Structure 1
């Protein structure tokens, strides 16, 4: 039994006339008659009663053709799924992200992707840059949005999508809150909330190096992982901190962000896209292309 035979039987059931069915199928009548006869023999039932007045669908024929319609529908669904899977319009996409990617880039990217590819099963997971890189390299994630720069050794290609810069976060009632700008070199005696050395090593190293460049060693009062947590600790009066400027949209009235005058220009931060070049799926390729459309990549990339 072939799909071709089922299609022929369905057209014949619509017309109940071999000649008209053959015309609709763009074939000669004798081959159609032979094909239907072979289908009946294979199934062991008569699908059509041949009457002097024409054809009549038998009860067995009605049952067979009812299921034939379902079979042909699902066969077309399989073909469509294969086409969409090849083009990335259907399938699975696993995206990892760091918390600071949620400030602006990720909501815009995910919203646009879901609207453009509604049949893709999207899974998103939050973690740290180091953990996301590990997941990416063990192929349990397809792409990841990370903090930039990435100092951990990796086989992934890292492309900076969105540049940012650090600002000083202080509580609204702190003496520094009235300043319009401040230099890192002034902060030697301030209690400082630092990024975790073990869980956020890149941000920890970057801020430590920046202080080293201006000749001071920060007095670390507390370590934390997420920028939102750091802002809460600042608001609680536990210390000051360096946070991405993009965090300003999530900063409440209890925290002020102050521009820095002596941050080393060459030390860029931002959100980057991480991929494994030899393991990019069709769905991941579509997300990567979309990300580069929404936010043209900055000049920095890491291999």
Structure 2
């Protein structure tokens, strides 16, 4: 049997008439009668009793009607699910992210997307730039929020989401904390909390390049992978650091942030969405389209609001 036969059977059962069922199905009555007879032969039992006033279901026909309706409903659900997946309205989206985006950017984008696409199941995974780029390149993640500038693996594309600049993170009692802004040379003799080097670049490469352009060789007192850890080490009084200004509003009151007065105009950093150009699903496209508005500037970028709140 096939779905067409089940639809024909349900139509006859609901109308109690071959002629009315044929009209509903936009077909002639004789082929409909033949189709039902073949279905009965296949099942090995009569489904209808023929009467002078039409037809009525037999006991096996009553049981078959319930199963047929359920089967047709399931078939429609399969079709609906397939269409939804093909258009990106349903499915699964595997999202990787660095820790910094959890402070506002990621929750806002995720909530907005989930509200518009409730049938898409989200799977989130935190990692470093190196880890996320590798997972996107290998097809284990659909998208990854990464810090830029960074290396660009083959077939991985970037969509800029947020632009930002470095600011200086200082212990509250530090001598430079009383200034409204600081210069890079002001930090030359301060112990610096740096970032762990990565073969894909990232913040460590950006900070090193910035100091090199200024002719400064800073003393690296400690290194850490994540921005939150770097700020925590500043909080502990172990040194000063350059951090993305977006992090200024998410640290303890024992750390103050000051804009850097002599940042080169092209010394910008930011957050990009990494995705595989050759393995992009419809759901991935939907997600990228949902954040395709012009790249936003991080709160406080370039200005600095003085101290953490």
- Between the aligned partners of 2:28 and 2:279, the Cα distance in structure 1 is 50
Change (3 A) 1:159 1:197: same
Paired residues, number:
297
List 4+ stretches of structure 1 deviating above 3 A. Answer: 151-155, 198-201, 295-298
2:59 aligns to what? 59
Structure 1 residue 57 displacement after superposition: 1.0
Alignment of 1:210-249 (within 5 A): 210-249=210-249
Structure 1 residue 200 displacement after superposition: 7.5
- Between the aligned partners of 2:150 and 2:42, the Cα distance in structure 1 is 64
TM-score, normalising length from structure 2? 0.90
Alignment of 1:40-51 (within 5 A): 40-51=40-51
1:279 aligns to what? 279
Change (3 A) 1:297 1:42: farther
Gaps of 5+ in 2: 298-309
- Between the aligned partners of 1:215 and 1:247, the Cα distance in structure 2 is 26
- Between the aligned partners of 1:31 and 1:200, the Cα distance in structure 2 is 68
Change (3 A) 1:290 1:95: same
2:292 aligns to what? 292
- Between the aligned partners of 1:94 and 1:292, the Cα distance in structure 2 is 18
- Between the aligned partners of 1:167 and 1:29, the Cα distance in structure 2 is 80
C-alpha contact 2:149 2:201 (8 A) present in aligned 1:
no
C-alpha contact 2:133 2:153 (8 A) present in aligned 1:
no
Change (3 A) 1:63 1:246: same
Change (3 A) 1:277 1:297: farther
2:8 aligns to what? 8
Tell me if 1:102 matches 2:63: no
Alignment of 1:146-295 (within 5 A): 146-151=146-151, 153-198=153-198, 201-293=201-293, 295=294
C-alpha contact 2:5 2:35 (8 A) present in aligned 1:
yes
Structure 1 residue 96 displacement after superposition: 1.1
C-alpha contact 1:145 1:274 (8 A) present in aligned 2:
yes
**RMSD of aligned C-alpha atoms?**
1.8
1:301 aligns to what? none
Secondary structure, in 3 states, of the residue corresponding to 1:238?
coil
TM-score, normalising length from structure 1? 0.92
